Structure 1
Amino acid sequence: MIVQNMHDALSDVLGAIDARALFSVRFAASGPWSVAFPAPSYLKFNAVRRGAAWIIEDGAAPRRVEAGDCLVVSGRSFTLCSDPKVPSVPASKVFANAGLDVTIGDGSDFVLLGGSVNLDTVDGSLLTDALPPLVVIKSDDAGPIGWLLEQLDREWNGTAPGSRVACNDLLRLTFIYVLRAYLAQDRAQHPGWLAGLADNRLAPALRAIHADPAHPWTVETLARLVGQSRSTFAERFKVTVGASPMDYLVRWRMRIAAARLRRGDEPLPRIAQSLGYASDSAFAAAFRRVLMESPARYRSIHRASGAGAR
């Protein structure tokens, strides 16, 4: 069986969780400085444009970041500083009523462009859980990211019409390239679908599932697709992705269904059929097993709470 690459898993997930990159701040500093950031409720995405600094995760050793490096932070507090010995100031004080351009001292030593990646409030964990709390992509591994950041600088410093929108779009594209650079590294120590995509012996199976989630996939057909025995494939998939192939398939189908239930008015039978379920009852049983609610109640709850707006 040949699966055409009409979809790819990363694009599918970013679409499902409605990932939106928003340019938020330019931070410049000089002299001794240290800013303590609380654990973000979304992904923080930053690019170092000048100089160097230290980033300290809560409970971890300091890491040096330099011009050209990109940082993705999620779910954990951190401190950014010129020297780990400098006492930190809460970010709430540094950025209070400061707008889009914040400067400590004359700002000549260090410049950071910062943004956020806002995610679906329900399904955003699909990405955050697949990433470690801190991802640092060094400039040597950045590929075309350097060019994108140069364009981001130009848009930020220029006065062309639409520059704010251009900054957001460039930041989103840069974020995708950062995820690609992350995938190019060996990340098996952090199980998840991103680790599966980074594994050439598993990626074809994940791409096949995302290209056609309604297909009646079995462990055997997926194993044949990647040229492995059933047992070898199943074990490697479980260890790397953190779920069995069939569990991943069902959970991905339910992610798709849940997003459509929150955001639209499609009849349940149509959603069930489009995801490969011959009966509404089989779809409802799978949905309850994964989401702990019936599809109808799930739609009602999330529509009432306003989650369907995203």
Structure 2
Amino acid sequence: MSGRGLPLIRRPVTPLDPSLTTRPVPHERTFTGRSFGPGAAVDIHKTARPLKEIDPEAVLESFHPARYSHYENVAIDNTTRNLLKVVERKENMRSDDGRVFLERDPTWGFYVFVTDYSTEVSENIPRAMETLMGVVQRKLRYWTCLPYAEEAFRRFKLDLVEDQAALEGASYDRIRAEFRALIQAKTRDLKSSSEEWDGKGEFDLWPWVRYLACLVLDGAAVSMLANPPPFENLEEHDRFLIDNVVLKVVDRFWQRPPPIVLTTEEYRGVVGCSIGRLPLLYHELTSDSGTGAVETFYEHQRLGLW
């Protein structure tokens, strides 16, 4: 039954994870982890191609009709090219005086926080990532001309954040706190003492989606990706995984209202995203590239805008 037209109910926001008081997260933290995807290649800085080289190759004859367009109602447009355009524009972020604040990064993707450290899950992660990469690669091909799809996939990278002591069974509150600590450590040495770092300059200089939100990978998602049921063809295989593997997206900038405040807001700093829509998620967040980007994505998804 649809909830349209019903009065909004004010409800309290759930309390902050109490373990953050008894076991607080440090202001800065670094993690060891693994990177997956073609963008993790050590020579990606050399193999990534600029759009000016790809555009002449992106002819209509290389377009692969979107087999899933009837299923997901995804419009065939310039999303993949626009994604590449944003990534290319933000490879080097400079201040007004020309100084480089971030080293060149031609990739796109997300930090992925792992919350299950059982032996089975740890052993299955490489196979799960291989499956996920295959789904993303094929979705990119369905949406656009092959040269754009190939370049977008070449630049795709997921950075897994793994620390059993800190993250096993972690709540979204803890993941958000750990993510903030990770980004704080990564950006500490990049900040300038100039006025542009008055608290408003962050997104002028680091508008990377990697710093806006992170993904959560739990045991159920790993198991589903590593051991999907057999299907007759890849289309059925991908459709099943797209329907059943939804990763949580944790908004780094969401602020919990005071516990005494009742709110009608449904957004609580976490939103789900199907693995088949990770490129669209990245593109959507770059379209906003501000502290409210994930909430905007949530609203668009809730309203069925994509």
Instruction: Specify the TM-score bucket, using the shorter chain as the normaliser.
Output: under 0.3
Is the radius of gyration larger for structure 1 or structure 2? 1
TM-score, normalised via structure 2 length: 0.25
Higher relative contact order (CA 8 A, sep 6+): 2
